[in-house]
Amino acid sequence: MQKDPPTRVKSTNAMSMFRRSVMWAALALIIALIFLSIYGAFIGPERAQQFFNSLPLAVYWIAFILLLIVGMVIFRKFISVPALLLIHAGCLLVLAGAVWSSEAGHELQKKLFGIDRVPKGQMVVFEQSYEDRVTLEGTEQVRKLPFRIKLKDFRIDYYKPGYLLVQSRKGKTFRFVAEIGKEYFLGDDLGALKIVRAFENFKIRIEEDGNVPYDDTGPGDNPALEVQIITPTGQTKTRYVFALSPGHIHRDVEPVLRYYRPIRDYVSELQIIEDDKVVVEKDIEVNHPLYYGGYHFYQYSYDDQAGQYTVLMVVSDTGLNAVYLGYLLLCGGVFWHFWLRDIFAAIKAKSL
């Protein structure tokens, strides 16, 4: 049935009012999120995470998602300008994916679909041993994965050569590349020093004419430098500086020396074992996680005393595809809307 003209005008006005209200609500939510983000930045990552996952903020996120859906339905511009639709659909997917991948999202999946996955946690794996237990993040609760992980080896790679850090008693500091044979002048009051030798695994052998340091090729790790200090009076003294025991300082002489080796990477050589078979094998590093069975395994921490175990972070991939698809739509949308439309229009105008 066709509406009579005054009713149509009335409904058009009502719709226009509704659209305007939605825009105002969107602007209010955006401004609120600006202030919430700034507040979150001041309270630190852990508290910010709790804050943004709290009940009032859950209400906020739901309102945001609903407003995006309502906006996409009521604004005709989204049909005439598809790039805008992509941008808003992208934001919607990112938010939906984030909600789905949250702890609450995992709980919901368990209740609705019986999918029971470990959302996020850490696992400690010792060298040459197997592990399937994950300690859930922020709790002491332990869950088991449906497969086991074996750590073949854990190692730390260093940049070579390292650095010799020098500090005078007056607080003057120097940083020298630890190149063998290099001599560095520290000043008239401090003299000079020369890097004589570098050890990967420093050990001492006791012989008749005294202690003899040597580089042991056997197991162990004790990097050190042999440094010759040349005092302003011309006297020379030999000192050994150890990377793993920075507290080992010769306080009787100036200056204080430290051997520093910048870390290039942390590497865990992993195997995934399922039904007593190795199904995946990978050396994981920072930026190179292992993916298996719906979980990502990240190099998280390690045994900084003896280097005998690694700590992996285990993260479920639930909701991740939605977030990535959202990113793709968002980026595609903004470049299409703000760049490509104008570029194509300019090319078209030129060709006419």
Partner 1 sequence: MEIKYTIQGLLIYVAIAAYLSAFTETILRRQKAGQFLFAFGFIVAAGAYAYRWHNVGHMPLQNLFEVFLCLGAICYPVSLLCRRFLRVGGQWADMLIAAIVLFPAGFVFSAELRQLPPALQSPLFVPHVAVYALSYIFMAKAASQAILQLAGITPSANENLLNPEQATYRMVCVGFPLLTLGLVLGSCWGKLAWGDYWGWDPKELWSLASWLVYVGYFHFRYMFGKKHPRINSAWAVVGMAVIIITLLWVNLSKFFPGLHSYAI
Site residues for partner 1 per CB under 8 A: 20, 23-24, 26-27, 30-31, 33-34, 37-38, 40-42, 44-46, 48-49, 52, 98, 120, 159, 175, 262-266, 285-289, 296, 298, 300, 313, 315, 320, 323-324, 327, 330-331, 334-335, 338-339, 342
Of 256, 249, 9, 294, which is closest to residue 146 (Cα–Cα)? 294
CB 40, min distance to partner 1, A: 5
Q: How many CB atoms lie within 10 A of CB 243?
A: 21
Q: Which is nearer to partner 1, 35 or 113 (CB)?
A: 35
Using alpha carbons only, how large is the chain's radius of gyration in Å? 31
In the chain, the largest separation of any two C-alpha atoms, in whole Å, equals 115
Q: Which is nearer to partner 1, 147 or 266 (CB)?
A: 266
Beta bridge partners of 127: 151
CB 272, min distance to partner 1, A: 17
Query: What is the spatial distance between Cα 323 and Cα 319, in angstroms, rounded to a whole number?
Result: 6
DSSP 252: T
Q: Which is nearer to partner 1, 24 or 214 (CB)?
A: 24
What 3-state DSSP class applies to 174? strand
Q: Which is nearer to partner 1, 191 or 333 (CB)?
A: 333
Beta bridge partners of 29: none
Sequence-distant (≥ 6) Cβ neighbours of residue 319 within 8 angstroms: 96, 97, 98, 99, 100, 101, 102, 105
Q: Which is nearer to partner 1, 229 or 270 (CB)?
A: 270
Q: Where are the beta strands (DSSP E) in 109-209?
A: 120-126, 130-136, 142-158, 163-167, 173-177, 183-187, 191-199, 202-207
CB 209, min distance to partner 1, A: 40
CB 349, min distance to partner 1, A: 13
Q: Which is nearer to partner 1, 255 or 333 (CB)?
A: 333
CB 51, min distance to partner 1, A: 8
Query: What is the spatial distance between Cα 280 and Cα 284, in angstroms, rounded to a whole number?
Result: 12
Sequence-distant (≥ 6) Cβ neighbours of residue 134 within 8 angstroms: 118, 121, 122, 123, 142, 143, 144, 145, 314
CB 97, min distance to partner 1, A: 9
Q: Which is nearer to partner 1, 105 or 191 (CB)?
A: 105
How far apart, in Å, are the Cα atoms of 39 and each of 35, 64, 98, 165? 6, 19, 20, 40
- Interhelix angle 55-74/5-43, rounded to 10 degrees, is 140
Q: Which is nearer to partner 1, 177 or 253 (CB)?
A: 177
